[in-house]
A and B are shown apart, each in its own frame.
Chain A
Amino acid sequence: MIASIGSRLGQAVLVMLAVTAIAFVMFRYVGDPVAMMSREDASPAEKAELRASLGLDRPAIVQYGDFLGRTLKGDLGISFRNQRPVVDLLAERLPATLELVIVATLLSLSVGIPIGVYCALKPDGALTRAIQTISLVGISMPTFVTGIGLILIFAVTLRWLPSFGRGDVVQIGGWSTGFLTRSGWASLILPSITLALYQLTLIMRLVRAEMIDVLSSDYIRFAKARGLPSRYINFRLALRNALMPVVTVTGLQIGSLIAFAIVTETVFQWPGMGLLFIQAVSFADVPVMAAYLLFVGFLFVVINMIVDLTYTLIDPRLRTRRA
């Protein structure tokens, strides 16, 4: 067990090294920092001086080591656009995205799993067919269409919910949360539904397929032959087996939701990471982009590790054989 966690960590470190190398190359070689920082009429001598003072004339590997050291200390550079430390920018935007993603994920799990189970238990029911058809629409509808549609109905026509922003937020330490105010919750509803919709249909279809598979397995037939009640068989014995792949998919989905909630955040003007990234791209704000790359890489590595550990917790076959 410890050996396997150890080797996982080792792999994670290797992946992170690769990601930092890419971020470094981007940071250092996409555009010339000296040209960006010096005056337009600066002489070659002045530029060389600036280059030396920034340490950019040293060998690339030394610079990379330097970059790595700064990254480890949490120094990701200064944003070109608003001259603030990139770390501060990320920390400011992270709570908004995380809260949105958590609500969206919980929503998709709590709705997707029961519907998936229902469709597996009644494969020929009229309701199942209806759900299957609707889910096909849901899975193929682009996020911005869903978002704009929801805004049109609930914000513009019915005027029930706000169409943009986070509403009132409360600062707790460095974390700004919208969970504590009425307007915060109201603002969360539309974007989280928009974000959850795709994941929900995915989870529902996955649970349905897995459940159908598990229900026809020998151990479920054996459980039926032992006369166990069907509720017990379906929800305790079968569902646990069916949820195995859901763990993986949910993990990866959380990762991509955090990293790529860009469309939803843009539609709802949600002040999260995605919006930050979009703005960085349009201003060629390289330090922010490099930091964003690092952050996304780190996020996926961490989530993958958590998924692997969860797997070992659920599936006894993956634990080391101590018996």
Chain B
Amino acid sequence: MKPAALSITDLTVDYPLADGSVVTAVSGVNLTVAPGEIHALVGESGAGKTTIGNALMGLLQAPGRVAKGRIEIGGKPVDIRTGRTDGIVQGKDVGAIFQDPMTSLNPLFTVESQLGETMRHHLGLSRAEARRRSLELLRAVGIPEPERRLKSYPHQLSGGQRQRVVIAAALCCGPKLIIADEPTTALDVSVQAQILKLIRGLADERGVGILLVTHNMGVVAEVADRVTIMLKGQVVESGPVAEVLGAPQHAYAKALIGAVPRVDVKLPRLPVPAQESPGTAAAREQVRARMGGGEEAKAGVLSVDNLVVEYGARGGFFGGSRVFRAVKGVSFTVEPGEIFGLVGESGCGKTTVANTIAGLAKPTSGSVTLGGLPIGAKRGGVARKALQMVFQDPYSALNPRLRVTTAIAEPIAFYHLAATKAEAVEDAALLLESVGLDREAGARFPHAFSGGQRQRIAIARALAPRPRFLVCDEPTSSLDVSVQAQILNLLKDLRDLAGLSILFISHDLAVVRQMCDRIAVMKSGEIVEQAPTEELFAAPSHPYTRELLSLVPSLDKIAREPVAV
């Protein structure tokens, strides 16, 4: 029998701190990857899954170190102190695939140079030989026109093509083990499906063992053979994918899998691992009361009529003007108190639509009205106050130099919604409580909060001017599943209790199904299909919608316990 591609016994990784204490990022982890097997390592941020990957690649950030344990690659032990071993060479026997193909290739060197350098170094190939092998590799990973692509620079390739080049580089010396850290997280669903297929093929045809680090349960269900679920540096459950995902035993594993939004059935609320405090509910009720509540507070209809947005690159003296039409005549309406979903792949124009509605981009033609009032780039104070936005990345959406209370109280004071400064601060505290944070949190700066907490703060800030309409652009795509479930429930509650209308933009069809009343599917600047959610999922009429639905990696391929609806 061939030795395991990877075998980890009792691995512990420490980060000694300056004050002498030690943070244990990974403790006592056991894991085996057989040749030709895809072993998924899942968990939420901070679980230590990436740390394991980095330890295997010898990329632990100082002062991190492997405190104890045993690592064997292809049956040969690795010296845990130096990361070296006889006969096992980093890059030759262990390949790596990183998360973001946009940043993992050096922008100043050609594809050929980046593929060839590894082989010339490890295998001692000549330039011509390396070139021939590079060409073979590009063919193997399915890049169109491989001869031409050898001479290309990374910026000339699409995200999917770049990830294929990265995979080719990982493969180039015939490794026994590939460590893939979130290899499809930065990609669109259709590209993701292709890359996953490619990775599955490598394991099956070349017998490479693959350690797949991911947070996406759908991806696990789609390609992995075995899965290990981690929590706070420890393994909580491990086993064949169908068993673990289908019938998890450990409480955390159950909660984690339960929190993954399902594509197959709509639930009234997403199951959340932890229950919220009664104070939060009370605060939310107060916020609702302030926002007016009831029928009269509802926004008018948001109506987008034949919207066209062009981005122009007007040339100088000699260059002609090149106009890119990002949105080509989009029309839809969002009823008061409705959650309207806008889905599509990156570059389809959905974010441009959101930005135009929020007044951040100028429409070339067409109109956007809220309750009959035009809200173009120039808008009155009423429309400005009524419509607020929640952005995708909670890390860059908050001013790092403003205390949270200041950030939230600012719009309250700006719109004269509080008589005194003390009242505005009290309002801000209430808002924080209503999104499930402590009142005291306001005294701190954004860097003191996790991604999920920051997104809650961003939502609280958007609620501060007592809006009637929220534009949410991928509000949960950078968050962990359990946090995502909480944020989605929060948005739903706000709609139910305060009558907010929400334009919900996402590329994640499962999330959209759980959230939205109606959905529009966008492709290259146009809406190809628009229907009530249940109808769209039951009977998609446009081929593109059908394609998107078929490509979503989901847990549904694995029989799950039926959830009580």
Contact = CB atoms under 8 A, between A and B. Distances in A.
Interface of A: 2-4, 6-7, 10-11, 217-229, 232, 237, 240-241, 314-317, 321, 323
A241 to B, nearest CB: 6
Nearest to A240: B108
A181 to B, nearest CB: 42
A217 B117 contact: no
7 contacts: A7-B318, A10-B318, A11-B316, A221-B104, A225-B59, A226-B90, A232-B121
Nearest to A320: B319
B118 A226 contact: yes
Interface stretch (B152-160, B350-358, B417-425, B504-512): B152-160
Nearest to B157: A323
B121 A229 contact: yes
A227 B90 contact: yes
A237 B109 contact: yes
Contact of A316 (B94, B100, B155): B155
A-B pairs with lowest CB-CB distance, top 7:
A227-B91, A7-B316, A227-B90, A225-B96, A226-B91, A218-B103, A316-B153
Given A4-B316, A11-B316, A323-B151, 15 more contacts: A2-B318, A3-B318, A10-B316, A218-B98, A220-B106, A222-B98, A222-B169, A225-B91, A225-B96, A225-B179, A226-B91, A237-B106, A317-B107, A317-B155, A321-B156
B89 interface: yes
Contacts of B94: 225, 227
B166 A222 contact: yes
Contacts of B103: 217-219
Contacts of A227: 89-92, 94, 118, 121-122
A245 to B, nearest CB: 14
Contacts of A223: 106
Interface residues of B, number: 39
Contacts of B300: none
Interface in B122-157: 122, 148, 151-153, 155-156
A190 B317 CA distance: 47
Contact of A219 (B106, B118, B317, B318): B106
Nearest to B181: A225
Interface of B: 57-59, 89-92, 94-96, 98, 100, 103-110, 117-118, 121-122, 148, 151-153, 155-156, 166, 169-170, 179, 315-319
B58 A228 contact: no
Contacts of B318: 2-3, 6-7, 10
Contacts of A2: 318
Nearest to A7: B316
B121 A228 contact: yes
A3 B316 contact: yes
SS of A interface (majority): helix
A225 B317 contact: no
A294 to B, nearest CB: 24
Contacts of A10: 316-318
Contacts of B166: 222
A10 B317 CA distance: 7
A143 B277 CA distance: 66
A241 B107 contact: yes
A241 B105 CA distance: 12
A222 B104 contact: yes
Nearest to B62: A124
Given A232-B121, A323-B156, A222 B96 contact: yes
Contacts of B110: 316
B107 to A, nearest CB: 6
B106 A7 contact: no
A11 to B, nearest CB: 8
A224 B317 CA distance: 45
Contacts of A241: 106-108
A316 B107 contact: yes
A228 B98 contact: no
A105 to B, nearest CB: 23
Contacts of A229: 121
A232 B95 CA distance: 19
Nearest to A225: B96
A224 B169 CA distance: 12
B169 to A, nearest CB: 6
Nearest to B148: A323
A2 B89 CA distance: 47
A223 B117 CA distance: 10
Residue from A219, A222, A315 with most neighbouring chain B CB atoms (10 Å): A222
Contacts of A315: 107-108
A321 to B, nearest CB: 6
Given A3-B318, A226-B118, A314 B104 contact: no
A2 B103 CA distance: 29
A6 B319 CA distance: 9
Contact of B105 (A4, A219, A323): A219
Given A224-B58, A227-B89, A316-B153, A4 B107 contact: no
Contacts of A225: 57-59, 90-91, 94-96, 98, 179
Nearest to B121: A228
A319 to B, nearest CB: 9
A124 to B, nearest CB: 9
A228 B118 contact: yes
B315 A3 contact: yes
Given A218-B98, A219-B104, A225-B57, A3 B319 contact: yes
A304 to B, nearest CB: 15
A224 B155 contact: no
Nearest to A224: B59
Nearest to A2: B318
A7 B315 contact: yes
A134 B170 CA distance: 44
A240 B89 CA distance: 26
A218 B100 contact: yes
A323 B148 CA distance: 8
Contacts of A222: 96, 98, 104-105, 166, 169
A309 to B, nearest CB: 16
